[in-house]
Structure 1
Amino acid sequence: MEIKQNILNAVNEWLTPTFDNQTQDEIKEMMTSSPKNLEESFYKNLEFGTGGMRGIMGVGTNRINKYTLGKNTQGLSNYMLNFFPGKALKVAIAFDCRLNSQTLAKVVADVFSANGIKVYLFSDMRPTPELSFALKYLGCQAGIVLTASHNPPEYNGYKVYWEDGGQIVPPQDAAIVKVIESLKYDEIKFQANEDLIEYIDLAIDQAFIKSTIENASFNTSNFAKENLNIVFTSLHGTSIKAIPETLSKAGYTNVNVVPEQATPDGNFPTVVSPNPEEPEALTMALALADKLNADIVIGTDPDCDRLGVAVRNTQGKMVLLNGNQTMVLMTAFLLEQWKKAGKIDGKQFIGSTIVSTPMMMELATAYNVECKIGLTGFKWIAKMIKDFPELKFIGGGEESFGFMVGDAVRDKDAVAATLLVCEIAAQAKANGSSVYESLLQLYVDFGFYKEHLVSLTKKGIEGLAEINQMMVDMRENPVKEINGQRVVMLEDYKNSTAKNLLSGEVETMNVPKSDVLIYYTEDGSKIAARPSGTEPKIKFYVSVNAKLDAVKYAPEVESYLDEKIKNILLDLKII
């Protein structure tokens, strides 16, 4: 195949002495044996998405390697030195269980230190939420996590946090990227100043666990804690470093860890995908739960910021909850605890995202708190905390299995969320109920909301073009009717417009731009389309709802909603 000139230009730069011999040899090998792979590796620069920068590891501008991450870090160093003139700068760095994460973390530490910036580097893998906590605890100006979350084993990534503990957001992210893009690779300072690199571990661990227990414990009796039978799996990830100890110190003595998945391993040998959103990932945990007659199953992704939960239904069978269900359960529980403590006075808020369940708005109204809705990604919820200091953040989440309890950690946090779910389960069991029955009661109180996600994978250059064209088609030719229901509103977050399709009236939305389209139908259904910011996927989110008069009618109403979701997807030709 013929290699395009812009790719050849990038390749030739990487064949100069700025790059080590091994890198040059790998590129030369690709030029002869795999020009298609060469094109994929160099056709663009890796970009920051909703969860930082993620990509396949390897050589090239579109890959995760010491040079692309070194350039990021040099650019961030330059930005920080200019943004904080005359200040003694500090950064914290953590990494997950992935292949090369520890090596790449040291490269990042070397570059910061070479620029005169003090580095606190975890001596071993740690959960991503612990980095957010450590950054604030140590008074750092920035932080980095080397992780690709739940992506396949060949991926790694680079997430940037700022001094508030949240990930970088506009306009700062664009300003930092501009500095990075202005750099040449030969400007990267790789020679470490080891005197500026300090390794951190147990002291931060203990402070993090102590803070988690303080924030996510709610007067559960010791008997209730000891009586809860828990199965936990870390899916070969970093949560094994924090969650078992946190649960133990919080008083949960009956925690059964899935032994085959307890050892950290970036190859994730026992699962197809280390993603608790995927039912297959929890197969081993569910089998152990049935063997031990456990009450609850909890599994976390490799960097421990998402959790999947399974509980027993009214027939005693283990069922997986989706991210929207765990989010409303945790939010409702927090709101009720704050209400009992007399801490709600109208100056509090919960947070969610535009593709998550509208049920969060119902909860907020019932408890007289605000519900702030942001774009996809927890950096937007962290930004809410910073932007509204007059309001106290109670908790919040998004449909992709993430939740944040309070503001001690400014990112989704599976450590605190795991403890919180156990508190909910323990109290429910002690009261003769269950997590599942608690969820059904919420549906009676606030309406039965049912959500479904379809993810279509489209890899490589062609896949990206196909995803972009799908969004163009939906934007330029919006559907007028879905499943026999008129579309009443179309929100276009790329153009910042909300159009009433019945009246033709168009309003400007005061939100950051994002490539998201949301359709609302006259019966209250909501359908969103969004290219993933971290994976080669386009995602479709469907939310439907109906009135539930009593718990006993739940199976009938759920069947009706499932059929409705199926018909919507068929009508839109998504399935």
Structure 2
Amino acid sequence: MDKEAILKNAQLWTQAPFDKETITQTLALITANNAEFQESFYKDLEFGTGGMRGVMGVGTNRINKYTLGKNTQGLSQYLKETFKNEQIKVAIAYDCRHNSKELAQVVASVLSANGIYVYLFEELRPTPLLSYTVKARGCHAGIVLTASHNPPEYNGYKVYWQDGGQLVPPQDKAILDLINSLDFKDINFNGNPDLIELLTAADDNAFIEDSIKAGKVAGNVDRSRLKIVFTSLHGTSITLLPETLKRAGYTDLHVVKEQAFPDGNFPTVKSPNPEEPEALKMAVDLADKIHADIVIGTDPDSDRLGVAVRDNNGKMVLLNGNQTMIAMTDFLLKQTDLKSLNNPFIGSTIVSTPMMHELAAAHKVECKEGLTGFKWIAKMIKDHPQQDFIGGGEESFGYMVGDFVRDKDAVTAALLACEMYAFAKANSSTTYQDLIKLYVEHGCYQERLVSLVKKGISGAQEIKQMMIDLREKTPQQIAGQDVIIIEDYQASTRENKHLNKKESLNIPKSNVLIFYLADGSKIAARPSGTEPKIKFYISVKSELDHVDNYPAIQEQLNNKINGILASFDI
């Protein structure tokens, strides 16, 4: 969109149906005519892998009552067209971010104005509870106001369908087409309070009971012996996670008090992201002070989980998402009576560790693989009702235990992580030692994620050009290794260069490129669907003949990853 079109777009926000405050703020942006003005109006905010997420403020490319109102009006009309002659029900939850409660009320008002019955959580609650409530309350859809682990100026909007999973084809495109056909004047903000019901502690208790049923799998072990440090990073998990662990028998639980209060400013961390070691520093410091076994940290909406455990030298180390997923999946498989299940399977994503396939083969279960985002794992469950889902995850610190929740669930995953460590401790081992044993048994995998931040209009263009260059100037070698297979999920093709063979990928289109090298290394490039980033996912592998040799092999693999990054000039 050129400058003239941006100005024309902005001028529409200086008149009805927009309120006086919005008009005043828009006029100020037009007068400033700076980068913020350009970025606020140069496009419409789009749905990505985790719904709609963006900076709060006025404008078509911002999170505000009008952009979310338009989404909700479109969703309302789609629901009424799809479920004719039914009393449609929608559940709404929200996190700790600025304006989340107010925006949740706006969304509830639009839904109720359209004759839709709303279940609204009275206070902030975790995202997995919303997914659970959609199913438990028999809702037709669900909405959560959250921007996950993004910076404080962000908020977001995620939509769930009847099965408790996020929107996937064909509903997502149909709803987006309807939203795009609307004008802001079409939004009905005149809510009906009689159609809004506030949810109570009974909904919390039902979730906690089912979470324990799904995650408490370690058998008869002394859970009181496990010393746990937990931090909610100022987010929603404080409302459910400590109570869940305590009811499951984990009484030696220590909460990081400085981070226990919900706060959208996230004052004690640079980023409320448990993927980053810095975010868990206060928790690790407390763990060292009290000699705890394990650290658990969650992101603001409590769907991502960070786990730190002690290595063989007694140092607390943060496991990456792939390691947590591998350890928890193997433990879950071993504690499950697989013979009693119908064609059981585990789930993963195309950018996660290939080791999930090794585990599946070893336990004689299927490993289904989808695009990035738990909505695709939820779709696997929905599309294969004749199969039993055990558990699954992705490299970005998400995990789902069973199918009672259809999104990544840090509450139940935290319980499973504690169960895994309590079981190891009861058998004179640790989670870290058990993980290395898995590397000996199945091959030693090492993964790393590198994210390049590219903000604003120029950043979006730069990311677009980087993906174009990777496609048009495809490397023949990476770090001295031949590129033998190229998967292009945008073109839906898989090219085997050694066999000179090209075949179609039976998976929805996505802007992802994956290179497989002759030595078994895997490199994926993917623009983020929720942040101004391009991400590179690297996976390398080596044999490990003995647990004592892990440090040396780990160093070799990290050096190999460094070489791959250098070949991309990263």
TM-score under structure 1 length normalisation? 0.98
Alignment-mate amino acid for residue 37 of structure 1? E
**CA positional deviation for 1:501:** 2.0
**Corresponding residue of 1:547:** 543
CA deviation after TM superposition for structure 1 residue 34, in Å: 4.3
Letter in 1 for 2:298: T
Superposition pairs of residues 460-539 of structure 1, within 5 angstroms: 460-539=456-535
Residue 3 of structure 1 and its aligned partner are, at CA, apart by: 7.1
- 3-state SS of paired residue (2:185): helix
Alignment partner of 1:428 is 2:424:
yes
Q: Which residue of 2 aligns with 1:402?
A: 398
What are the equivalent positions in structure 2 for 1:433-472 lying under 5 Å apart? 433-472=429-468
Q: Which residue of 2 aligns with 1:373?
A: 369
What do residues 84-117 of structure 1 show as CA deviations (whole Å, max 9, x unaligned)? 1111100000000000000000000000000000
Q: Which amino acid aligns with 1:74?
A: Q
Report the equivalent of 1:393.
389
In 1, are the aligned partners of 2:221 and 2:422 still within 8 Å (CA)?
Answer: no
Cα deviation, 1:148-167, whole Å, max 9, x if unaligned, reads 00000000000000000000
Any gaps of 5 or more consecutive residues in structure 1?
A: none
Alpha-carbon contact 2:58-2:64 (below 8 Å) kept: yes
Residue 221 of structure 1: how far off its partner (Å): 3.2
Gaps in structure 2 of 5+ consecutive residues: none
Match of 2:170 in 1: 171
Matched residue type, 1:82: E
Equivalent in the alignment of 2:325: 327
Shift of 1:506: 1.0
Map of 1:24-35 to 2, 5 A cutoff? 24-35=23-34
* 2:412 paired with 1:416: yes
The Cα of 1:33 is off from its aligned counterpart by 2.4
The corresponding residue for 1:106 is: 105
2:119 alignment counterpart: 120
Within the candidate set 554, 564, 569, 2:560 is matched to 564
- RMSD over equivalenced CA pairs, Å: 1.1
| C-alpha distance in 1 between matches for 2:73 and 2:336 | 44
Q: Does 1:343 align with 2:340?
A: yes
Contact 2:311–2:432 (CA<8 Å) still a contact in 1? yes
CA deviation vs aligned residue, 1:362-384 (integer Å, no higher than 9, x gap): 00011111000000000000000
State the 1:489 CA deviation.
Answer: 0.2
CA separation in 2, counterparts of 1:230 and 1:503?
52
Deviation (angstroms), 1:485? 0.9
Give the secondary structure class of the aligned counterpart of 1:244.
Answer: helix
Deviation of 1:398 (Å): 0.1
SS in 2 for 1:17: coil
Distance 1:539 1:36 in 2: 25
Give the conservation status (yes or no) of the 8 Å contact 1:344–1:369.
Answer: no
Structure 2 match to 1:296? 294
Note if contact 1:480-1:501 (Cα within 8 Å) is conserved in structure 2.
no
What whole-Å deviation, never above 9, does each CA across 1:511-542 have from its counterpart, x for those lacking one?
10000000000110000000000000000000
Q: Given that residues 348 and 392 in structure 1 are in contact (C-alpha distance below 8 angstroms), is that contact kept between their aligned partners in structure 2?
A: yes
Structure 2 residue 159 is matched with structure 1 residue 160: yes
Is the aligned partner of 1:23 residue 2:22? Answer: yes
Partner of 1:209: 208
Aligned-residue offset at 1:35: 2.9
Aligned counterparts of 1:365 and 1:219: Cα–Cα separation in 2: 23
Give the whole-Å Cα distance in 1 for the aligned partners of 2:269 and 2:181. Answer: 41
What is the distance in 1 between the residues matched to 2:245 and 2:292? 16
With normalisation by structure 2, the TM-score equals 0.99
The alpha carbon displacement at 1:16 in A equals 1.3
Q: Which residue of 1 aligns with 2:251?
A: 253
The residue type equivalent to 1:23 in the other structure is T
User: Residue in 2 aligned with 1:309?
Assistant: 307
For the 8 Å contact 1:440–1:551, the answer to whether it is kept is yes
Q: What does residue range 87-106 of structure 1 map to in structure 2 within 5 Å? A: 87-106=86-105
Displacement of 1:132 in angstroms is 0.3
- TM-aligned CA deviation for residue 342 of structure 1: 4.0
Cα shift at 1:175: 0.5
Percent pairwise identity? 62
Secondary structure at the counterpart of residue 361 of structure 1 = helix
* CA distance in structure 2 between the partners assigned to 1:496 and 1:3 by the alignment: 32
Deviations 1:139-198 (A, max 9, x none): 000000000000000000000000000001012101100000000111100001000000
Alignment check: 8 A CA contact 1:135 1:165 kept = yes
Measure, in 1, the Cα distance between the counterparts of 2:171 and 2:473. Answer: 34
**Rounded Cα–Cα distance in structure 2 between residues aligned with 1:3 and 1:550:** 61
SS at match of 1:263: coil
Q: CA deviation at 1:343?
A: 2.9
The CA distance in 1 between the partners of 2:219 and 2:255, in whole Å, is 22
Q: Is the 8 A contact 2:95 2:300 kept in 1?
A: yes
Q: Which residue of 379, 382, 385 corresponds with 1:383?
A: 379
Pair 1:556–1:222, CA change in 2 (3 A): closer
| Partner Cα distance (1:18, 1:140) in 2 | 31
Q: Contact 1:114–1:189 at 8 Å: present in 2 too?
A: yes
In structure 1, C-alpha distance between the alignment counterparts of 2:339 and 2:2, rounded to whole Å: 67
Q: Does the 8 A contact of 2:296 with 2:414 survive in 1?
A: yes
**Shift of the alpha carbon at 1:559?**
1.0
Cα deviation for residue 504 of structure 1 reads 2.9
Is the CA contact 2:50–2:529 (under 8 Å) kept in the aligned structure 1?
Answer: yes
Deviation at 1:484, TM superposition (A): 1.2
- Aligned residue pairs total 570
Aligned AA for 2:537? Y
How far apart, CA to CA, are the structure 2 residues paired with 1:34 and 1:64? 20
Residue 499 of structure 1 aligns to a residue in which SS? strand
The DSSP-based 3-state class of the residue aligned with 1:55 is strand
Q: Is the 8 A contact 1:41 1:61 kept in 2?
A: yes
Letter in structure 2 aligned against 1:47: E
1:502: how far off? 2.7
Distance 1:112 1:65 in 2: 16
CA–CA distance in structure 2, aligned partners of residues 48 and 152 of structure 1: 18
**Contact 1:57–1:63 at 8 Å: present in 2 too?**
yes
